[in-house]
Amino acid sequence: MRPVNRRHRAHAFVLGGAVLSLLLADGARAAAQEALWPDREEIELFLKKARVTARKKIGTGVTNPEKVTLELDGVVRDAVFKKIDETTDNWRNEVAAYELDNLLGIGMVPPTVSRTVGGRQGGLQLWVTGSPMDHYAGGFPDLESWRDQVSVMWLFDDLIANVDRHLNNGMVSPGHRLMLIDHSRSFRDMVELRNDLNAKFDGTNARYFGVTSDADRGPFPVHYPRPLIERLRGVTDKDIKHAIDNYVWGWRQHQLLERRKRILERLDAMGPGVLLDVGGRAAP
């Protein structure tokens, strides 16, 4: 596990006015939350086409990422560039994680593209600004909303077989939205659900993600937006393969599909009470 960086991480952050339809139900749980990247297609194009004006090593993390400044038609943005290309730690996983996030309408992974910078191919991700998750060690403004977001995060991590989620691999936006970064260690050779949607201790225990744990340190109740789960059921194997085909290959694609199957079986076993309908209420 990488050490937690307790400094606020300076990534550029894009705010939008629309509500993210698939992740958020209306009502109290969505009151303080905003769509993070409603113009994601425009951002993707910018990341692919903008001129690189500056590069600087960030100095944290084992993947030696760089901060890259980009300019296009007078617009300036920063991005994170990763070029690590190892079997179990690879920049391609960053792009694949974003493509799946986009396919499912989750909206937690910042726009990420494949691009060559300085003669090396790698993953280029929009730089986002917020607080590290341990900033909320004393509590979170809306604990129920926070737990709903963490529930989705662990579902996503089970889907992509992410073995490297910790307090430094997620950011909290100024509007208290969870943003997921650092996915180069995802898409592992495994079909097991490490967190198993609330069945295992290392997943949805509140204390690990910066809020006071339940008295018995047991897992907190999980909830998932119904549109997200319907989307997870509705996308075809072909849709998933098409989204990641340039980045995740062969047997690891089959394992991803098997993990999706297991997630849906687990959701069925948990029953409809874990699904959030419109208004933020769990289904009866």
Residue 34 is predicted with a pLDDT of: 57
Q: How confident is the model at residue 137 (pLDDT cuts 50, 70, 90)?
A: low
Of 63-67, 120-124, 166-170, the poorest mean pLDDT is in 166-170
Instruction: Give 212-244 pLDDT, tens digit per residue.
Output: 555 555 667 789 999 999 999 999 999 999 999
Examine the domain organization and report whether 235 and 188 are in the same domain: yes
Measured CA to CA, the distance from residue 161 to residue 183 in angstroms comes to 10
The domain in which residue 163 lies consists of 133-276
pTM for this model (two decimals): 0.85
- Torsion angle, CA of 262/267/271/277, rounded to 10 degrees? -160
Residue 135 is predicted with a pLDDT of: 82
Assess if residue 3 is contained within a domain. no
Q: What is the 3-state secondary structure (H, E, C) of 108-157?
A: CCCCEEEEEECCEEEEEEECCECEEHHHHCCCCCCHHHHHHHHHHHHHHH
Examine the domain organization and report whether 137 and 271 are in the same domain: yes
Examine the domain organization and report whether 82 and 140 are in the same domain: no
Q: How confident is the model at residue 263 (pLDDT cuts 50, 70, 90)?
A: very high
Q: What is the CATH number of the domain that holds 53?
A: 3.30.200
Residue 19 is predicted with a pLDDT of: 34
Examine the domain organization and report whether 183 and 271 are in the same domain: yes
Per-range mean pLDDT, top range of 19-23, 28-32, 61-65, 234-238: 234-238
Examine the domain organization and report whether 187 and 257 are in the same domain: yes
Q: Which of 126, 144, 179 is the last residue of a domain?
A: 126
Side-chain half-sphere CA neighbours of 128 within 13 A: 29
Assess if residue 192 is contained within a domain. yes
Per-range mean pLDDT, top range of 34-48, 59-73, 191-205: 34-48
Of 37-51, 133-147, 208-222, the poorest mean pLDDT is in 208-222
Q: Which three-class secondary structure state does DSSP give residue 37?
A: coil
Assess if residue 178 is contained within a domain. yes
